[in-house]
């Protein structure tokens, strides 16, 4: 690492930190951009919602696959030149995304965006930690970074909703180009030409492992995204994708075990606390994934438009900030890890339980302010402490591999959460829809009464009788669909609540948790820890 200061002598510390945040924010937002408004994206590209979900997983798979390799490039190239290269590539690729409507080109560009994103994030993280000098600066820095990640989806949807409302969907990517440039130019002007980490020759890169790892992750994302839609093993593409996952996975693991310079050291799995922490990260992502059911509830049942939904999520962002500040303080004060985790999962349990009893066909937005804050606080209180525990569970020389495995776990469980929601939404909707249809058929008098009520209400607004009769049938069908969705949401949140209780019980029965000392002063996370 160079002895030359990172920033020019006249640059105040507040300006350097603000610049780092200005670069990090659009980088994090780019991850959630493809699903900022799925309906708008499907309409623009003329595809299914699953295709848009898969485009995000392609982006995610690129991050997970390139993370172990990226550090070598960062170590070889001067930080300023490396940053300039990454930003130029990011702008060019984003411009291609802006100009395409072809799904295969979109997938390729999203994958390339993910790989370049690793470089930008790696630089920003290293700069962030270099700017924090206090004894507990790293713990605070980690908490800030993971809090930013937790807010990424809600914040991206909030700021992009007015744009989608007034322009074509692809304009989002054009806006992102303009958002990238100010922070990037400012950072280039403020930085000296230095190496932030020890310079290492760029040789013997394990491209073979990367070529195995990236398709493995893409195939896994494909199976979990399209499995339910194609009836799982009934479709040959799902079968062959699953075979590819198993085959590539086996070859990849064997290659890592016998390679002198593996992409990921398999020795990390020898540490019990690391396995426990990684499993807990995955379970946290499954629990957090259930939050999308609440978003669907606001849209499908309450009929809220995207702008009002995402304005409501401001309270969830406030909760994340509160939870992250609590987590940082408790980590600095060295509070027992078990206590922090139990407090976080208790808040998550409170949110899901509250929502279970308050799912209804009609509700005011104000009703959901407190539970949204509670959910955000629970996520903020859990994310950083769990990740820090996981990284602290392995020796320093394995910390990069541990972080890379952590990215894989988050990718896999994020994808699994999407698959579970897709499966149970169809499963429970079919069960409850059939039951309610049978009930309505069995009680003909009630059915006719409801239809007459709808028809009379429509006619009172000036709609002709014949049109009102047809519309009344549609309103009844929509009412049945709403009730079926409510039943599904309640069943799914009941399962999640039970799962949280089991997780809390396991945490209570694992005394070794508090024996792991969180120490990250000499450890840095992987380039992109989404």
Confidence of residue 439 (pLDDT cuts 50, 70, 90): low
Phi and psi at residue 191, to the nearest 5°: -85, 150
Q: From 5, 20, 35, select the one nearest 296 (Cα to Cα).
A: 35
Mean local confidence (pLDDT), 342-358? 92
What is the tens place of the pLDDT at every residue in 191-218? 877 766 666 666 677 788 888 999 999 9
Confidence of residue 371 (pLDDT cuts 50, 70, 90): very high
Which pLDDT score, from 0 to 100, does residue 514 have? 64
Confidence of residue 38 (pLDDT cuts 50, 70, 90): confident
Of 26-40, 174-188, 190-204, 309-323, the least confident? 190-204
d(CA 453, CA 449): 6
Is residue 60 a contact partner of residue 114, using CB atoms and an 8 Å limit? yes
Strand-pair partners of 7 = 191
d(CA 84, CA 127): 15
Phi and psi at residue 7, to the nearest 5°: -110, 160
Q: Which residues contact 384 (CB under 8 A, 6 or more apart)?
A: 139, 142, 143, 146, 147, 324, 327, 328, 331
d(CA 332, CA 264): 30
Helices (H) and strands (E) in the chain, counts: 18, 0
Cβ-based neighbour number of residue 99 at 10 Å: 12
Burial of 449 (C-beta count, 10 Å sphere; 0-12/13-18/19+): exposed
At residue 146, the 3 state secondary structure works out as: helix
Whole-number average pLDDT of the chain: 81
Is residue 506 a contact partner of residue 345, using CB atoms and an 8 Å limit? no
d(CA 327, CA 409): 22
Of 1-15, 45-59, 308-322, 411-425, the least confident? 1-15
Cβ-based neighbour number of residue 334 at 10 Å: 10
Phi and psi at residue 248, to the nearest 5°: -65, -35
Cβ-based neighbour number of residue 179 at 10 Å: 17
Which pLDDT score, from 0 to 100, does residue 199 have? 65
Q: At what angle do helices 314-332 and 137-166 cross, to 10 degrees?
A: 170
- Do the domains at 1-205 and 264-421+485-529 have one common CATH topology? yes
pTM to 2 decimal places: 0.85
Is residue 64 a contact partner of residue 121, using CB atoms and an 8 Å limit? no
What is the tens place of the pLDDT at every residue in 73-83? 766 777 788 88
d(CA 203, CA 145): 31
Structure tokens at 457: 């209400």
Which pLDDT score, from 0 to 100, does residue 496 have? 92
Which pLDDT score, from 0 to 100, does residue 504 have? 92
Q: Domain residues of the chain, as ranges?
A: 1-205, 207-262, 264-421+485-529, 429-484
d(CA 326, CA 332): 10
Cβ-based neighbour number of residue 237 at 10 Å: 11
d(CA 345, CA 374): 11
Which pLDDT score, from 0 to 100, does residue 433 have? 60
Stronger pLDDT, 164 or 467, i.e. the higher one = 164
Q: From 126, 149, 139, select the one nearest 27 (Cα to Cα).
A: 149
Is residue 284 a contact partner of residue 382, using CB atoms and an 8 Å limit? yes
pLDDT at 450 over 50: yes
Is residue 518 a contact partner of residue 388, using CB atoms and an 8 Å limit? yes
Which pLDDT score, from 0 to 100, does residue 530 have? 37
Residues of the chain with pLDDT > 70: what percent? 82
Structure tokens at 205: 């890169």
Mean local confidence (pLDDT), 417-423? 86
Structure tokens at 405: 């495995």
Question: What is the signed CA dihedral for 121, 122, 127, 129, rounded to 10 degrees?
Answer: 100
Structure tokens at 263: 């992409």
At residue 436, the 3 state secondary structure works out as: helix
Question: What is the signed CA dihedral for 324, 330, 336, 340, rounded to 10 degrees?
Answer: -30
What is the tens place of the pLDDT at every residue in 266-296? 888 888 888 888 999 999 999 988 888 888 8
pLDDT at 258 over 70: yes
* Residue range 264-421+485-529, CATH number: 1.20.1250.20
What b-and-e string marks burial along 477-501, b requiring 16 or more CB atoms within 10 Å of the CB? eeebbbbbbbbbbbbbbeebbebbe
pLDDT at 528 over 70: no
- In the CATH hierarchy, which fold is given to the domain comprising 1-205? Growth Hormone; Chain: A; (1.20.1250)
């Amino acid at each position: 690492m160079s002895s030359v200061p990172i920033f020019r002598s006249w640059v105040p510390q507040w300006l350097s930190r603000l610049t780092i945040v200005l670069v990090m924010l659009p980088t994090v937002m780019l991850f959630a951009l493809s699903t900022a408004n799925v309906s708008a994206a499907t309409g623009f590209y003329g595809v299914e919602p699953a295709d848009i979900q898969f485009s995000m997983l392609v982006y995610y798979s690129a991050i997970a696959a390139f993370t172990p390799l990226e550090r070598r490039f960062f170590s070889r190239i001067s930080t300023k030149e490396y940053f300039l290269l990454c930003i130029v590539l990011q702008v060019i690729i984003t411009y291609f995304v802006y100009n395409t409507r072809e799904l295969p080109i979109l997938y390729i560009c999203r994958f390339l965006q993910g790989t370049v994103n690793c470089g930008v994030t790696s630089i920003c993280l290293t700069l962030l930690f270099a700017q924090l000098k206090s004894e507990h600066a790293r713990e605070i820095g980690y908490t800030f970074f993971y809090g930013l990640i937790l807010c990424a989806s809600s914040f991206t949807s909030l700021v992009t909703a007015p744009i989608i409302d007034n322009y074509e969907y692809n304009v989002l990517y054009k806006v992102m180009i303009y958002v990238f440039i100010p922070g990037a130019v400012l950072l280039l002007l403020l930085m000296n030409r230095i190496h932030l980490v020890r310079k290492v020759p760029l040789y013997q890169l394990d491209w073979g492992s990367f070529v195995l790892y990236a398709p493995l992750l893409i195939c896994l994302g494909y199976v979990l995204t399209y499995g339910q839609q194609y009836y799982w093993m009934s479709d040959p593409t799902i079968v062959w994708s699953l075979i590819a996952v198993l085959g590539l996975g086996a070859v990849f693991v064997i290659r890592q075990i016998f390679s002198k310079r593996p992409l990921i050291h398999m020795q990390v799995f020898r540490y019990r606390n690391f396995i426990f922490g990684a499993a807990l990260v995955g379970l946290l992502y499954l629990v957090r994934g259930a939050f999308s059911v609440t978003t669907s509830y606001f849209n499908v049942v309450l009929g809220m438009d995207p702008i009002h939904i995402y304005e409501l999520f401001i309270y969830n962002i406030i909760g994340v900030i509160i939870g992250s500040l609590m987590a940082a303080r408790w980590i600095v004060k060295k509070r027992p890890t078990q206590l922090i985790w139990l407090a976080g999962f208790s808040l998550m349990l409170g949110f899901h339980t509250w929502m279970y009893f308050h799912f209804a066909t009609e509700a005011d937005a104000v009703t959901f302010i407190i539970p949204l804050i509670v959910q955000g606080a629970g996520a903020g209180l859990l994310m950083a402490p769990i990740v820090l525990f996981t990284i602290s569970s392995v020796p320093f020389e394995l910390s990069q591999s541990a972080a890379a495995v952590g990215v894989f776990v988050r990718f896999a469980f994020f994808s699994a959460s999407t698959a579970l929601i897709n499966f149970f939404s169809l499963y429970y909707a079919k069960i409850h829809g059939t039951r309610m249809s049978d009930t309505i058929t069995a009680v003909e008098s009630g059915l006719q009464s409801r239809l007459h009520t709808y028809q009379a209400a429509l006619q009172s607004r000036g709609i002709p009788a014949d049109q009102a009769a047809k519309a009344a049938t549609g309103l009844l069908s929509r009412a049945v669909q709403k009730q079926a969705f409510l039943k599904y949401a309640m069943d799914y949140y009941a399962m999640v609540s039970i799962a949280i209780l089991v997780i809390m019980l396991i945490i209570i029965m694992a005394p070794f948790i508090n024996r792991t000392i969180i120490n990250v002063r000499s450890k840095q996370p992987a380039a992109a820890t989404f």
